[in-house]
């Protein structure tokens, strides 16, 4: 089904649109085939969550906005899925907080790196950092290769939709990590400084608005938002939310 074939009246219109973006991403050699299966796992968790932004995600978004504004050298890491799903939003966000957008892939491909860079430029990026001579100590995957100007120098790294090993390794290097992950049980979700348990396409517009809303806050007010934030509590709320929702659905289908 092509983009234009999805009728707006379809009850799963948005979900089908996101799938189309990823399929187009694969066709343009931006998204890996593995990215499709990763998205499927995300969709399953979104179904369990209820396909809306809940309060646990909203408080993580508020804290993420404050942390990105407080950072001296924030970096947004882009992979094949986020490049296909939210390229324009990533560009908008990076321009509000500095200008460090960095391509970083798990499934190694020079071709995809260059295509993602060009895709981001097409969506308005003026600067896109590429994997270079920097290295993340402690991981062996392709993600270890980073830009010396970007993640190597970063104090805060935003890694939406991430696989298992980089978040902990970045934290071991003293960096703080923000992620977006529909699965509150994943290793990344469990180890990040701030975990936004929500769909990346719902998160980015909200995060951009929140950054705009608090951009002029004094440093102390931003620091207060961070000090009052508790990621363990937010993850626990997300897991309880799924649990309660399933219990309610189970009761109603008796």
| Cβ atoms within 10 Å of 126's Cβ, excluding its own | 11
Cα angle at 205 between 81 and 66, to 5 degrees?
A: 100
CB of 79 to ligand PTJ, least distance (A): 3
**Residue 45 vs 229, nearer CB to ligand PTJ:** 45
Among residues 188, 195, 181, 180, the alpha carbon closest in space to that of 233 is found at 195
CB of 222 to ligand PTJ, least distance (A): 25
CB of 160 to ligand PTJ, least distance (A): 7
Residue 167 CA to its chain's centroid (Å): 12
| Cβ atoms within 10 Å of 34's Cβ, excluding its own | 13
CB of 178 to ligand PTJ, least distance (A): 13
CB of 148 to ligand PTJ, least distance (A): 20
Q: In what order do the strands lie in the sheet with 74-78?
A: 101-103, 74-78, 156-158, 176-180, 194-196
CB of 85 to ligand PTJ, least distance (A): 6
Residue nearest to ligand PTJ according to CB distances in the complex: 42
Q: Which residues 6+ apart lie within 8 Å of 27 measured at CB?
A: none
**Residue 64 vs 105, nearer CB to ligand PTJ:** 105
Binding site for ligand PTJ (CB under 6 A): 32, 34-35, 38-39, 41-42, 45, 79-81, 105-107, 161-163, 180-183, 186, 199-200
**Residue 1 vs 108, nearer CB to ligand PTJ:** 108
| Cβ atoms within 10 Å of 185's Cβ, excluding its own | 13
- Quick one: which H or E segment has residue 253? none
Alpha helices in the chain (DSSP H): 13-27, 33-49, 55-70, 80-85, 87-97, 110-122, 166-172, 187-191, 200-214, 219-228, 231-252
Instruction: Give the strand pairing for 134-135 and 145-146.
Output: antiparallel
**Residue 62 vs 181, nearer CB to ligand PTJ:** 181
CB of 247 to ligand PTJ, least distance (A): 22
Instruction: Give the strand pairing for 194-196 and 176-180.
Output: parallel
């Amino acid at each position: 089904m092509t983009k234009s074939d999805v009728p707006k009246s379809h009850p799963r219109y948005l979900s089908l649109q996101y799938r189309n973006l990823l399929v187009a991403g694969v066709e343009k050699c931006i998204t890996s085939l593995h990215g499709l299966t990763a998205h499927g796992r995300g969709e399953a968790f979104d179904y369990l969550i209820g396909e809306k932004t809940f309060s646990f995600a909203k408080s993580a978004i508020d804290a993420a906005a404050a942390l990105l504004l407080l950072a001296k050298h924030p970096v947004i890491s882009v992979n094949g899925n986020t490049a296909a799903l939210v390229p324009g939003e990533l560009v908008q966000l990076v321009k509000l907080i500095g200008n460090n957008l960095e391509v970083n892939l798990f499934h190694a491909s020079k071709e995809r790196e260059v295509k993602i860079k060009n895709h981001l430029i097409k969506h308005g990026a003026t600067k896109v950092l590429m994997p270079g001579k920097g290295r993340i100590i402690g991981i062996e995957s392709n993600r270890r290769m980073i830009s010396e100007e970007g993640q190597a120098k970063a104090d805060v790294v935003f890694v939406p939709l991430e696989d298992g090993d980089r978040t902990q390794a970045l934290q071991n290097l003293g960096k703080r990590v923000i992620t977006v992950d529909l699965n509150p049980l994943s290793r990344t979700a469990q180890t990040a400084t701030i975990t936004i348990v929500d769909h990346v396409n719902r998160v980015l517009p909200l995060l951009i608005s929140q950054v705009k809303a608090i951009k002029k806050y004094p440093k102390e007010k931003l620091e207060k938002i961070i000090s009052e934030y508790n990621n363990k509590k937010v993850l626990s709320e997300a897991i309880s939310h799924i649990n309660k929702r399933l219990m309610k659905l189970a009761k109603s289908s008796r």
